[in-house]
Amino acid sequence: MAIMVWTCVFLAFSAHLVAPQPSSPIATSADPRGGKTCPLPQKNVKATYDGTKHTYKPGETISYSCNVGFRLLGNSNISQCKINGQWKPDVKCQPIKCKKFTINNGKLNNGRLRFNTTVSISCDVGYRLRGPSVVTCGANSSWTPALPTCEDELVRVTCPPPAVPNSSGQDGYKIEYEVGEQATISCQEGFELIGSPQVITCGADGQWLGTPECRFTGGKCQPPPYFPHAHTEFSNLTLYEPNTSLRFICNHGYRMVRGPSTIYCRNGQWTELELICEKRKCGSAGEITNGRYHYTGSSFGDTATGSCYEGYRLVGVAVRHCKAYGWDGRVPVCEAIQCPEPPVVPDADLFFDTDGLIKSGYVASYSCRFGTLIGTSDIICTEDGTWSAPAPRCDVVTCPAPNVMSGLIVSGQRPRYHYGSSMDTGCQDFLYAENDSQRDFAENETTALTSHLGYIIHKLPSSIFRDT
């Protein structure tokens, strides 16, 4: 009887030890070295902690991982136990969201744009859906599969007859295939089907899904494939015997930068060509004194166009081309733009200072010695080597030589008289001068005459006989 009682007591005590207790936050406790310890954080909606013990000392760290539907914000997923018994920084897991979208000519049936949310898509009347009718917000914040489109029902998508070189049965193909329809590919005699299945399907985009290849059997090779910027001189055969070698050379204007340049026919296939050809480089096109080049590049096919600085003109060919042998042509010359000597204007003085080279911006000034200046007094040498205006002229007023009846010109005689010039006249023997202001003149007495605006002022004296 005593043994039974002892057993019951032990069982009751054991049950008390293993009985589950109500969950409650783990209280912090003091660390003997100072500060509070941190309890292992409980799993929450956002993250799960990767802990191996119940409490952590200040300075210890713990990692965590974001739960499904959340993603880490930033690069660190580490929290540290602080001296106050708190974990810092806080969990940086944010809900996964997808961007809101619209479908032209379509309707959406969706709720919250969170992770794993689905959106149903339908098209308006007169349009049909191309692509999935349901998309899901994925873990990378994007909709999967790719968003569909709503297309006009009048647009009919079809596939053309399959185009597989060296296949048989082309005559049995339909003119067009509806989306989802299938076609069977078979190869001609001497060729075998390589790659995709023999039956191919017309895709929703009007392209065949997984087109196979009919490859020649028997060890012979078909003509070699095309290689960029390279060619071979012996590619005019329809079939090449096993172990045939073909050497490729770079096209005109290109040079080999990697090899080898030979391929071989092995088991009906050409070996891989490792040849790489790149455009030849021409470098600099040269230096233009008082000018420069403008480049599209410095490789084969590029151009360099020369231009001159202000005040200079280009002599020669402006554009040079990068050829296989280098730049064609010669470097042009930039000559200073000059104006011709300024015109000489009769009866005018020219004021012009030059060192022998009449460059753009030089000024020639004119001033009339006689008469009136007609035009601009200053003309300027322009950038195109011409004067900015015609040279002016001097409008000179002249008078003809006067006719003195029975008299003579004593001094100042000339064919014509400029404005402001004067002369002296006198009467011949036994005559005297007569004019409005004076009638008696001594023998050979003279009078002054002055020209003005083309006329002789003062009335010329008339000669009459003197009384003797």
Tokens of 34: 């100072």
- Strands (E) across 131-198 are located at 134-137, 143-144, 149-152, 158-159, 167-168, 177-178, 182-184, 186-187, 191-194
- Strands (E) across 288-413 are located at 291-295, 303-308, 312-315, 319-323, 326-327, 333-336, 348-351, 363-368, 372-374, 378-380, 393-395, 398-400, 407-411
Does residue 373 or residue 419 have the better pLDDT?
Answer: 373
* Chain segment 71-100, per-residue pLDDT in tens: 888 888 889 999 998 888 888 888 888 888
Please compute the mean of the pLDDT values over residues 8-14 and round it to a whole number: 31
Q: CA-CA distances (angstroms) from residue 311 to 5, 185, 293, 466?
A: 124, 73, 17, 77
Residues above pLDDT 70, as percent of the chain: 81
Q: What is the structure's pLDDT at 366? A: 94
pTM equals 0.38
Q: What is the structure's pLDDT at 432? A: 52
Of 344, 361, 363, 360, give the one whose Cα is nearest residue 352: 363
Give 291-336's CATH code, choosing from 2.60.40.10, 2.10.70.10, 3.10.28.10, 3.30.465.10.
2.10.70.10
* Chain segment 30-63, per-residue pLDDT in tens: 555 567 889 988 878 888 888 888 888 898 998 8
d(CA 294, CA 28): 76
Class in CATH terms, 38-95: mainly beta
CATH 2.10.70.10 residue ranges of the chain are 38-95, 106-152, 158-216, 291-336, 338-425
d(CA 92, CA 76): 8
Tokens of 335: 């000559």
d(CA 315, CA 335): 7
- What's the CATH code, domain 230-279? 2.10.70
Please compute the mean of the pLDDT values over residues 147-152 and round it to a whole number: 86
pLDDT of 394 above 80: yes
* Chain segment 88-138, per-residue pLDDT in tens: 888 888 888 888 888 899 988 876 788 888 888 888 887 888 888 888 888
Omega before residue 89 within 30° of 0, cis = yes
Q: What is the structure's pLDDT at 293? A: 95
Give 338-425's CATH code, choosing from 2.40.50.100, 3.30.530.20, 2.10.70.10, 2.30.30.140.
2.10.70.10
106-152 carries CATH number 2.10.70.10 = yes
Q: What is the structure's pLDDT at 171? A: 61
Class in CATH terms, 158-216: mainly beta
